[in-house]
Structure formats: C-alpha cells, structure tokens
Structure 1
C-alpha cells in the first residue's frame, strides 16, 4: 500500500552561529553546550510538537493534530526560545570555565521556521522518515534573507499556509510580511516574528505570580493528563467552556493573541464575571484579576498554575491572593462557593482529558544527544590551536 498523506504542522529549530562556534572553539565543551541548549528547546516544543529527527545544528519537529489554537502554537515556539534564553543566562552566570567554547556560548542563538502542509511517512534506513513537497519546503526556507529584515538571528518565520491553518491575523499580531522565492516551488509568502524583541519584552514583564507561600487559599487537583493538555483546557475558551459551568466564555484579546491584557467574559445567567490576565507564563501559570458583578465587590487576584506530576500527570493549582482586611469576609464567602463549583467541574475536566490520546502516531522519537554538563562542572583551559 502507498503511504497515506497526512496534514501536519512542521517546525525546524535551527542554531544560529553553529558553524562559526564549532570552528573557533575546543570540542571538549562545545558539543555539551550544543546538546544542552538543543535539549532545552526540543523539550519546550513538546507538545504540541514531536521530534522527527536531529539534523546536525537543527531539530525537525511536527504535529499531525487536526486543529491547533493559534495562540497555543505561537506560545510553544516563543516559549521554547524563552527557555533557551533563560538557560543561556543561567549557564553563563553559573559556569566558571574560561575555555573558548564557554566564553563564546553567548554567540549562539535560535531561529524557527514553521509551515503547514502535507507529508507521508516512509521507511528509510530502517526507520520512518517524513517526506513530501512541504517537508522539502520547510527545509528550504531555512536559507532566507530574514536576518537582514529583523536585524538579528533570532526569529520565527511562519509560512502563510501555517498562518491560515492557525486562523490568526498576522498584521494584527504585529508579524512582518516577507517574501522568498524557492527554486522549482516559486514565490512563498511568509510572516516574521522578531524573537529578540519578543524576549526583551517578556523578560521586562513584571511578574505577578501568587506563590504557594503567599497565597491566602489554595485549591489543588491531580489530573492524569500531560501539562500541555491541561493548559489548553483551562485557557482556550472553546475547551474551557466544555467543563466549566459558564453559559458562555467570550475572549477579548485585542490583537487576537492570548496574554497579558486578555479579558475573558464568563456569563452565568444574567451575570458576567470578567477575568483580566495580569501575568502570562505558558505553560506554567497565569494570573488573573477577577471582577464579580456585585456592587462593591473587591477585585480577586488568582494564579492558576499547572505543574508536572509523576508519570506524565499534572497538578492544577488555584492560588488566591491575600485580601485586604476589610475584604476578608467577602472573599471567604466567594472562595467557598468557587471551591464547590470547581470541585464539581473537575470531574468533567478529568473525564475529558484523562486517557486522551494526542493523536495516532507510531513514529518513535529519536533520543537527544546527552549533555554531561562538563562546561559547568569541569572547567578546561584554552590551549594553542595548531
């Protein structure tokens, strides 16, 4: 039987500066550094993506999910990049090694190319490989002139096909139009996100997380589902509405991208609660300010966090911030009613996500190259290059 064509999103995470880095430094720590950073990025992309294979200085990932929320997919790409930047910063602060590789690790960066199209799986060299015109296209798009447009090496380049499949408005979201001409394929319309600018903006954000230590009250639930799945069902209105007892949930995101400033209007009969997002850290936590339709009601601040549990499970925590003394009685009453509703709703959420398979996919993921962390624990001295 011929392989069956499947629709898929493809993404390539490519290390910028890789060739110059390896050519100018000792290999003792260079390979460890590359493996460490690549592992951080690939883990950040999972899910919704799966690893197809490593390609030297790049990781090729894909997902055959029929529908992916546009905000979730962009959060996965940008979140993976932000994790790399945080890891780079932490490593540079922690490392005492002065070898050329460790000194030059700051020259490394990442760029991402994202496309939507069709593929087939075929056996090559004893394992399954992805093949097809769109697989070729996403690889050819790595060679482009985008760096000249954004003035740097860190960017996410979305094909117009990916943008349309996600159902997002690229102009409203501040993406920059771009055009490339690919041999045989022809002109390709693309959209660019400057990841350096996105990182600077995210890093400068004031965090408003209600921690466990600072919380006035905490509700917590163990859910036998991956963290990304739980995150999707508590943030995407269409999924959220399936298990929460609201008559309707209307999202107001301005630019069409979920994040700080997004407002959700939760209708309950003739009353509507308004939740404004004050802090947004996918897929770890988000903090909201809740305005209830009660005269004189105080604004309730709550962080909703999703943490990794054992064996692929998750823990969902709702942490309510401490009220002012004059608001304590009101909050106690509201929190008690909310806890009752949430406990009942959890049964519905669990039934939807526990045991839920992300999609049939028999391809085995390749193992990442291990990093021993020697660049942190075993400093080496730069020697003469012969």
Structure 2
C-alpha cells in the first residue's frame, strides 16, 4: 500500500555558529553545551511539534494537527527561543569553567524556518522518515539570504504557505516580507521575524505574576494532559468556550497576536465579563484583570499558572490576588461562585483532554541528546595543547 499524504507544519531549529564553535573549542564541553541547548529548544517546541530527527546542528520537528492556532504556533517558536536565551544566560552565570568552549558559548544562537505542506511517512534505514517536496523545501530554506537583511541575528522565517495556514495577517503583525529563489522549486514568498528585538521586549517586560506566597486564594487541579494542551484550552477562545460555561467568548487582540493587552469578552446571558491580559508567559502562566458587570465592582486579578505534574500531567493553579480591605467581602463572594463553576468546568475539560493525545499514527520520537552538565560540574582549563 502506498503511503498516504498528510498535511503538516514543519519547522527546523538550527544552531547558528555551530561549525566555528566546534572547530575552535574543547569537544568534551562543546558537545555537552550543544546537547543542553538543543534539549532546551526541542522541549520548548513540543507540543504542538514532535521531533522527527536530529540533523547535526539542527532539530527537524513537525505536527500533523488539523488546525493549529496561529498565535499558539508563534508562541511555541518564540517561546523555545526565549527558553534558550534564558538557559544561555543562566549557564554563563553559573559556569566557572574558563575553557574555550565555555567562554565561546555566547557566540551560539538559533534560527528557525517554518513551512506548511504535505508529506508522507516512509521506512528508511529501519525507521520512519518524512518525505516529500515540502520536506525538501523547508530544509532548503535554511540556506537563505536573511543575514543580508538583518545581519547575523536570530530569526524565525515562515513560508507564505505557513502564514496562510495559520490564518495570520503578516503585515499587521509586523513581519518583514522576504523572497528566496530555490532551484527546481522556484520563487518562494516568505515572512521574517527578527527574534533579537522580540527577545529584548520579552526580557524587559514587567512581570505581574500572583505567586503562591502572595495569593489571597488558590484553586488547584491536576489534569492528565501536557502543559501545552491545557494552555490551549485555557487561552484560545474557541477551545476555552468548549468547556467553560460562557455563551460566547470574543477575543480582542488588535493585531491578531495574543498577549499582554488582549481582552476577552465572556458573555453569560445579558451580562459580559471582561478579562484583560496583564502578563503573558506561555506556557507557564498568564495574569488577567477581571471586570464583572456590576457597578462599582473592583477588578479581580488572577494568575493562571501551569506546572509540571508527575508522569506528564499538568498542575493548574488559579491564584487570586489579595484585594484591598474594602473589597474583601466582594471578592470572597465572587471567588466562592467562581470556585463552584470552575470545579464543574474542570470535569468537562478533563473529559476532553485526558487520554486524548496524538497517538498511534505519530512516528516514534528519537531520544533527546542528553547533556551531563560537565561544563558546569567539571571545569577544565585551556592550555597550549588544547
């Protein structure tokens, strides 16, 4: 039987500076550093992406999900990059090693290419591989002229096919138009996101997280599904509405990109609650200010946080900020009603997401490259022979 063609999003996370890094440094620490950073990025990409294979200095990932929310997919790409930058900073601060690999790790960076098209799974060398014109195209897009436009900085490069499949308005969202000519394939329209200014904005953003220590009240639930799945059902209006008891949820996100400043209008009969996003950190937490349709009602601030639970489960915490003394009685009453509704709604959410993950037809993922952390625990000194 011939393999069946499937629609898919493809992405490649490629380490910039890899060749020069390995050529000039101590290999034992260099390989460990590369494995550490690649592990960070791949974990940040999944889900929605699954690892197809490692390709030297790159990870090839894909998802065959029928519909992927455009804002979520961009959050996955950029979130994986932000995790790398935080990890790089933390490692540089923690490492006491002065070998050339540890000193030069700051020269490493990542670039991403994303495409949407068709592929087939076929057996090669005893394991399944992805094949097809679009698989070739996403790989060819790694060799591009982007550096001539933005320099050697990190970037995410989306094909126009990916942008259209995501339902994104690239001009409204500030993408840079780009074109490449690929031999055999021809002209390809692309859209570019410079990740360096995106990282600077992320790093400078003022955080408004209600922590466990500062919370006035906390609701907690364990859900047997990955964080990314729970995040999607919490934050994407179409998914949120499926389990929450609202008549409608209308998102107002300006340029079509979810984040700080996004407002959700949750209709309940003749009344509408308005939730404004105050802080947005996929897929760890987001904080909202909730305005109830009651004259003089105080704004209720809540952080919805997702934490890793055992065996791939997610621990959801809904943390309500401490109200002013004069508002305490109102918040107590509202929180009691909210807790009752949320407890009932979580039952519906669990029925939708637990045990319903992508399964039998997905390829088995190869193991991640494990880092032993030698560059942190076993410093080496450079000398004339190294």
TM-score, structure 2 normalization: 0.99
Following superposition, the deviation at residue 149 of structure 1 comes to: 1.3
Tell me the secondary structure at the aligned position of residue 34 of structure 2.
helix
* DSSP 3-state at the match of 1:368: coil
Inter-partner Cα distance in structure 1 for 2:242 and 2:369? 40
| Equivalent in the alignment of 1:13 | 13
2:322 is equivalent to residue 319 of structure 1: no
SS of corresponding position for 2:48: coil
Q: Deviations over 1:322-353 (max 9, x none)?
A: 00011111111111111111111111111111
Give the structure 2 partner of residue 125 of structure 1: 125
Q: Helix, strand or coil: the match of 1:178?
A: strand
Structure 2 residue aligned with 1:174: 174
Pairing of 1:211-290 with structure 2 (within 5 A) = 211-290=211-290
The 10-residue stretch of structure 1 (242-251 or 361-370) with the greater mean CA deviation from structure 2: 361-370
- Partner residue of 1:297? 297
Cα distance, 1:2 vs structure 2: 1.0
Match of 1:198, SS state, is: helix
Q: Is it true that 1:35 corresponds to 2:35 in the alignment?
A: yes
In 2, Cα distance between equivalents of 1:188 and 1:385: 48
More moved, 147-156 vs 249-258: 147-156
Name the CA distance, whole Å, in 1 between partners of 2:77 and 2:302: 26
Q: Deviations over 1:210-261 (max 9, x none)?
A: 0001000001111111111111101000000011111100000001000000
SS, match of residue 92 in structure 2: helix
Uncovered stretches (5+) of structure 2, i.e. residues with no partner: none
Question: Conserved in 2, the CA contact under 8 Å of 1:291 and 1:300?
Answer: yes
Q: Could you tell which deviates more after superposition, 361-370 or 184-193?
A: 361-370
CA RMSD of aligned residues (A): 0.9
Residue by residue over 1:17-50, the C-alpha shift from the partner in whole angstroms, topping out at 9 and shown as x without a partner, is: 0011111111120000000000000000010011
Following the alignment from structure 1 to structure 2, what is the Cα–Cα distance between the partners of residues 92 and 177?
35
| Paired residue secondary structure (1:280) | strand
Note if contact 1:10-1:62 (Cα within 8 Å) is conserved in structure 2.
yes
Q: How does 1:330-369 map to 2 (within 5 A)?
A: 330-358=330-358, 360-369=360-369
Deviations 1:133-191 (A, max 9, x none): 00000000000011221233300000000000011111111111100000010000000
SS at 1:51's partner residue? strand
Contact 1:8 1:119 in 2 (8 A): yes
- Measured after TM superposition, the shift of residue 355 of structure 1 is 1.1
Kindly provide the CA deviation profile for residues 47-68 of structure 1, in whole angstroms up to 9, marking residues without a partner as x: 0011010000000000111110
Question: Matches of 2:295 and 2:303 in 1, distance apart?
Answer: 24
Query: How far 1:361 sits from its partner (Å)?
Result: 2.6
- For residues 37 and 248 of structure 2, the distance between their equivalents in structure 1, rounded to whole angstroms, comes to 42
Structure 1 contact 65–359 (Cα < 8 Å) conserved: no
Specify the alignment match of 1:162 in structure 2. 162
CA contact (8 A) 1:112 1:155 kept: yes
Q: Which residue of 1 aligns with 2:93?
A: 93
Aligned residue-pair number: 386
The answer to whether the 8 A contact 1:156-1:194 is kept is yes
Check the 8 A contact 1:152/1:196 in 2, yes or no.
no
Look up the match of 1:57.
57
Query: Distance in 1 between the 2:299 and 2:180 partners?
Result: 49
Deviations 1:262-315 (A, max 9, x none): 000001111111000000000110000011111111111000011111111111
- How do 1:105-120 and structure 2 match up within 5 A? 105-120=105-120
**Does the residue aligned with 1:19 lie in a helix, a strand or coil?**
helix
TM-score under structure 1 normalisation?
0.99
Please give the alpha-carbon distance, in whole angstroms, between the structure 2 residues aligned to 1:345 and 1:2.
44
Shift of 1:360: 4.1
**In structure 2, distance between residues paired with 1:356 and 1:120:** 23
SS in structure 1 of the partner of residue 136 of structure 2: helix
